[in-house]
Chains A and B, each alone.
Chain A
Amino acid sequence: MHSESIWGPKLRRGAARLPGILGKLFVAFIFLFPFYWMVITSFKPYAETIQFPPTLWPQNFTLDAYISIIGKMNLLVYVKNSIIVTVSEIVLQLLVMIPAAYAFARYNFVGKGLMFGMVLVALMIPVQVTFITVYLLMAKWKLLGTLLPQIIPFGTNAFGIFLLRQSFLQIPEEVIESAKLDNASELQTMTQIMLPMAKPTVITICMFSFIGRWNAYFWPLIMTDVERIRPLTIAIERLKDLEYGINWSVLMAGNVLLVAPIVVVFFFASRKIMEAFAYRGVK
């Protein structure tokens, strides 16, 4: 049921809507323009970026900044690291989270309430509290030179367990019972029946994990002090230390590379993604 004329037919007349439309376009502009600025800066030569007044479109369109990053700074290493960290994270989390959520949803066992309560409490403990100790642990276990400190500490995705358990709980009992009648083992029930039915939730969780790891800055900052394990975020932030002075074209080019995958995915799946985030707000 949708309501049509809130506050009278006045608003329906065409011309009166113009200020509203312009206003909203301005709002959209505020959110999009910085990205536009980032992109065109990346295609300007350095000299043009410090020009006054600045140009709204590159006068001397150039790929120098990108060549600089990819060539000189060996960007691919960092991209590779980011990808490895992100993908491994998702895989690890799935392996840990699916059985756990399944157990919390399907079984009753001593200590279940306590353990699930711990999962919920863990949701509220931020990295700012845990990083010191985890760093010391990684140092003690001599893992600091590897990619592992960026992956292992997030093995348990508390939010993921919460969401997935809810999804599993919503699967009707009858489906599970007919699986039992079909002589399915627990593993089969979990992977071939319940998991496919919870696919949207799993995709959502993977998406949150992907965004979280790809964009992570604080954690890798702490956990990486050698070049070869740094992810893209750290590399780009350090660009301003590597150049002589701050070269905005190069910095912006780096950010374009960091931002592009996310924006591209968002462009294709914007509705679904926003739905997932809106639902998360309801919690």
Chain B
Amino acid sequence: MKQQQEPRRKSFTKEKILPYIMTAPAMAFLLVFTFYPMANLIYLSFFDYNLINPNKRFVGWRNYYELFFVRKDFLNALQNTAVYTGAVVFFVILLALLLALWIRKDSKFNHFVQTCAFTPHLVAMLSCAMIWAWIMDANRYGLFNTVLSFFNLPPLRWLNSSATAMLSVVIVSVWKSIGYYCLIIVSALKAIPAEIYEAAELDNTPRYRLFFRIILPLLSPQLFFLLVTITINSFKVFDTVRVMTEGGPGNATDVISFYIYRYAFRHFRIGYASAAGTVLMVILMLLTAVYFRGLSRRVHYQ
């Protein structure tokens, strides 16, 4: 009997340890490359840390003070990011919704349109930015300006003018995103049973009422998801700005991510950049919390 117990105990322990062995690498990577950096970001934000001189100097809240009260450029970056986000969210949701309603019926042609709209989403943001920078070239031969000249309008400076630079960046992001979000809305529309539309037909429902009283309420979970997701992603925008405008002209398109990057790798002020990064992190966490709160409320209703 003793002999029977021993091997069982060995395999029992082995089985107990096994899950930990299996999850260990994943957890290790997460701790080292995700959670530690997050904590370290907050830690570093309280220091004055110049990459060239490896000694850190504790300065308390001074970086934050400088962010908000001494310099104007962080607030400018925040504002730009907010404006950018607002514009992108508005246009993407509006256009994606309209397009989705238009192409929601199953047909080869609609699927073709959907595929075309989706293509920019797969392509590198870098490429989208460069292609559009070319289209929006401020010279006469830039495509947009060429089109303007057909209507006898003067060329615009697009990315070179602080008035239109933000618009240009927004256009690129909206163009890249519509296809993906349209796809999500179309899926949601298709999930509405055909019978509901048929019952509405039998109820003699005019089109606008069908949209506002039936379709829109049924879409609201997805639209909420879109709203929060696009907002969160917009706050992180970097590639477009870096490639198309470098934050300019002037500070017209400086956004938070780019601000952090500049101060970390051009001015080498790690501590200060970390403070900015922490602010971004807090904003993103708040937005995520809003999302989950909204999500749980909706789950309750369904």
Contact = CB atoms under 8 A, between A and B. Distances in A.
B183 A118 contact: no
B115 interface: yes
Contact of A96 (B16, B29, B134, B281): B29
B247 interface: no
Given A1-B194, A28-B112, A126 B22 contact: no
A130 B30 CA distance: 11
A161 B239 CA distance: 27
Nearest to B194: A3
Interface residues of B, number: 95
Contacts of B112: 28
Dominant SS among interface residues on chain B: helix
Most buried by B among A20, A31, A118, A278: A31
Contacts of B102: 20, 23-24, 27
Interface stretch (B64-72, B139-147, B161-169): B139-147
A119 B109 CA distance: 40
A206 to B, nearest CB: 15
Interface in B230-283: 236, 238-239, 242-243, 256-257, 260-261, 264-265, 270, 273-274, 277, 280-281
A258 B126 contact: yes
Interface in B81-121: 99, 102-103, 106, 109-121
B187 to A, nearest CB: 5
Interface in A21-39: 21, 23-25, 27-28, 30-32, 34-35, 37-38
A6 B197 contact: yes
A69 B260 CA distance: 32
B104 to A, nearest CB: 10
Contact of A129 (B21, B116, B207, B277): B277
A134 B33 contact: yes
Interface in A77-97: 95-97
Contacts of B135: 34, 37
Interface stretch (A57-65, A149-157, A176-184): A149-157
B75 interface: no
Most buried by B among A49, A112, A129: A129
B184 A281 contact: yes
B126 A237 contact: yes
B23 A52 contact: no
B277 A278 contact: no
Interface in A208-253: 211, 214-218, 221-222, 233, 236-237, 248, 251-252
A262 B44 contact: no
Contacts of A216: 124
Given A37-B135, A107-B19, A109-B16, A129 B124 contact: no
B22 A262 contact: no
B120 A31 contact: yes
Contacts of B128: 34
Contacts of B227: none
A258 B41 CA distance: 33
A6 B201 contact: yes
A198 interface: no
Contacts of B261: 218, 222
Contacts of A277: 118, 121, 180, 183
A14 interface: no
Contact of A217 (B117, B132, B239, B284): B239
B270 A217 contact: no
Given A53-B141, A215-B126, A37 B131 contact: yes
A21 B109 contact: yes
B122 A211 contact: yes
A254 B17 CA distance: 50
A158 B119 CA distance: 25
Contacts of A50: 139, 141
A28 B116 contact: yes
Contacts of B116: 27-28, 31-32
A132 B116 CA distance: 37
Contacts of B114: 274
B26 interface: yes
Contact of B36 (A34, A133, A217): A133
A107 B18 contact: yes
A49 B141 contact: yes
B41 A132 contact: yes
Nearest to A161: B26
Nearest to B141: A52
A96 B24 CA distance: 9
A21 to B, nearest CB: 7
A41 interface: yes
Contacts of A152: 29, 33
Contacts of B132: 34
A126 B119 contact: no
B119 A266 contact: yes
Interface string A104-126: 10010100100100110010111
Nearest to B281: A129
Given A128-B256, A156-B34, 14 more contacts: A1-B194, A27-B102, A27-B117, A31-B117, A125-B281, A129-B38, A129-B280, A135-B264, A152-B29, A218-B242, A237-B243, A255-B131, A277-B118, A281-B225
Q: Which 4 A-B pairs have the closest CB atoms?
A: A133-B37, A215-B124, A99-B22, A281-B184
